[in-house]
Amino acid sequence: MSSRFPIILVGLPGAGKTTVGRLLAKRLNVDFLDIDEKIEQDTGKTISKIFAENGEKHFRDLEVDTICALLNSKSVLSPGGGAVTNPAIRKIFKNYPVVWLKVSSTCAAGRVGIADSRPLLTGDPLAKLEKLYAERRPFYEEVSRWQVSTDGLAAEEVVDEIIRNFEEA
């Protein structure tokens, strides 16, 4: 397994970044850091509240600052699904092992359901996920060193695949 950290997991909401990230970190005996959770802890506000009060641009700026502060950590990082839309983050990610957890819009919609905690998915989650996938796919492809499909796989199977990719690198 590569000793290069942090390992960064990217993908749509519902791809399994948090679930897989926690399991991967446990298997590697490192910390798991969810960027959205860290932002909420640091600001004392939910992501939904930050979006509502300050807008997406402000949130994306907080995201860059938080990611940069954690780049020296021996950890698995899970940024929000839209982090890759930011050119500054894409530039940073090129220097780290990034795994794109690919998920179909249908599977992702089934996993996230209707959640107020996901401000970009309010209304029709499936339609919004399809739109997000179309917009973000080129960015996920640009930053990822590996791609692992999560459709139909248990989180443990996804972790096994990620570890296999690292061992073969």
pLDDT tens by residue, 75-95: 999 998 889 999 999 999 999
Task: Judge whether 60 is annotated as a binding position.
Answer: yes
pTM of the model: 0.86
Measured CA distances, 129 to 16, 76, 100, 114, 148 (Å): 14, 24, 16, 12, 18
Residue 126 vs residue 102, higher pLDDT: 102
Task: Judge whether 22 is annotated as a binding position.
Answer: no
Task: Judge whether 106 is annotated as a binding position.
Answer: no
Task: Judge whether 15 is annotated as a binding position.
Answer: yes
Task: Judge whether 18 is annotated as a binding position.
Answer: yes
Q: Give me the pLDDT at residue 130, please.
A: 85
Q: Which CATH architecture has domain 7-161?
A: 3-Layer(aba) Sandwich (3.40)
pLDDT at residue 121 above 70? Answer: no
User: What is the average pLDDT across 135-163?
Assistant: 94
User: What is the average pLDDT across 34-62?
Assistant: 93
pLDDT at residue 54 above 80? Answer: yes
Task: Judge whether 16 is annotated as a binding position.
Answer: yes
Listed by start position, the domains of the chain span: 7-161
Q: Give me the pLDDT at residue 59, please.
A: 92
Task: Judge whether 81 is annotated as a binding position.
Answer: yes
Q: Give me the pLDDT at residue 110, please.
A: 59
Q: Is residue 8 a contact partner of residue 77, using CB atoms and an 8 Å limit?
A: yes
Structure tokens at 92: 């940073």
Q: Give me the pLDDT at residue 112, please.
A: 64
User: How far is Cα of residue 14 from the mean position of the Cα atoms in its chain?
Assistant: 10
What residues pair up with 146 in beta bridges, in sequence order? 99
pLDDT tens digits along 125-135: 778 888 888 99
Q: Give me the pLDDT at residue 138, please.
A: 96
Structure tokens at 86: 């930011």
